[in-house]
Amino acid sequence: MLLIPSLFLLVIAGCKSKQTTKEKQQELQTGVLNEKNVYKADEIGWTIQLPGWDVITKKENDKLNEKGKEAIKKSVGAEINTSRLMELINVRKDQFNTFLSTIEPYNEPSDGSYSEHNKMINEVVKNTYASKGMYAEYGEDTAIIDGLKFEIFSAKIYTPDKTKVIISQKMFSALINGYDFAMTMVYNNDVDMKVLESAIYSSKFSKRN
């Protein structure tokens, strides 16, 4: 799983007008979104009730991923391989409040311990923020969603004087059906934090392994 530092979402300024369900579906790489904003991804048997926010377009996703990859490359001194990473559904209310989700094939016998992999990714994110001169506080936790255990990595990015949080993020990750699955919520206020948490905890999974 590649966690793109979510502060780079801020480079996508403004918001487009509300999309129709058909327009939203056209921007998805995989999965199906219905008129009630329920999204389903067969690869991991995932169903989620999302807020009626706009889907981030494929073009905007490409910009976001390239900027994130470049920042990570500068911080770790190596190329980031995203060839196997698949975008599921990414939605946003505005440039500060966003939901992102991805899957990437992961096989512990060949790829190594999933828990250790997550720890490595978390350190990459910390180093990337530090290399950009950003002060952040981090936390780790776990959560049970529809009976499945998720690891949580959180970050709060502060103003340069360290007195105010600019933006917060929480990433929920789990190994499901041979995929590294990640849901990331990015927010700057309590109302949208609760909206995003409600969506994430509404998740249902028909595939349990």
Can you give the CATH number for the domain in which 82 is found? 3.40.1000.10
Burial of 201 (0-12, 13-18, 19+ CB in 10 A): middle
Q: Would you place residue 71 in the very low, low, confident or very high pLDDT band (cuts 50, 70, 90)?
A: low
For the chain, what is the domain count?
1
Residue 185 lies in a domain: yes
What is the per-residue pLDDT for 98?
94
Residue recorded with tokens 């999204």? 39
pTM: 0.89
Domain range for 174 is 6-205
Residue 123 lies in a domain: yes
Q: Is the pLDDT of residue 76 over 80?
A: no
What is the per-residue pLDDT for 15?
52
Q: Would you place residue 16 in the very low, low, confident or very high pLDDT band (cuts 50, 70, 90)?
A: low
Tell me the average pLDDT of the chain.
Answer: 87
Residue 198 three-state SS: helix
Q: Is the pLDDT of residue 2 over 70?
A: no
Q: Is the pLDDT of residue 161 over 60?
A: yes
Residue 1 lies in a domain: no
Read off the tokens for 36. 């009630």
DSSP 18: P
Q: Which residue has the higher pLDDT, 104 or 61?
A: 104
Q: Is the pLDDT of residue 75 over 90?
A: no
Q: Is the pLDDT of residue 58 over 90?
A: no
Q: What's the rounded Cα separation, in Å, for the pair 73 and 62?
A: 16
Q: Is the pLDDT of residue 11 over 50?
A: no
Residue 171 lies in a domain: yes
Q: Is the pLDDT of residue 12 over 60?
A: no
Give the residue-averaged pLDDT of 171-190: 96
- Cα 55 to Cα 76, 91, 133: the distances in Å are 31, 4, 30
Q: Which residue has the higher pLDDT, 18 or 6?
A: 18
Among 185, 136, 186, smallest CA distance to 165 is for 136
Give the residue-averaged pLDDT of 82-94: 88
Instruction: Could you list the beta-strand ranges (E) of the chain.
Output: 32-33, 38-41, 46-49, 54-55, 86-87, 91-94, 97-105, 136-145, 148-158, 165-176, 179-187, 204-205
Q: Is the pLDDT of residue 4 over 60?
A: no
The answer to whether 22 and 200 have CB atoms below 8 angstroms apart is no
Give the residue-averaged pLDDT of 187-206: 97
Residue 105 lies in a domain: yes
Q: Is the pLDDT of residue 79 over 80?
A: no
Q: Which residue has the higher pLDDT, 81 or 41?
A: 41
What is the per-residue pLDDT for 129?
86
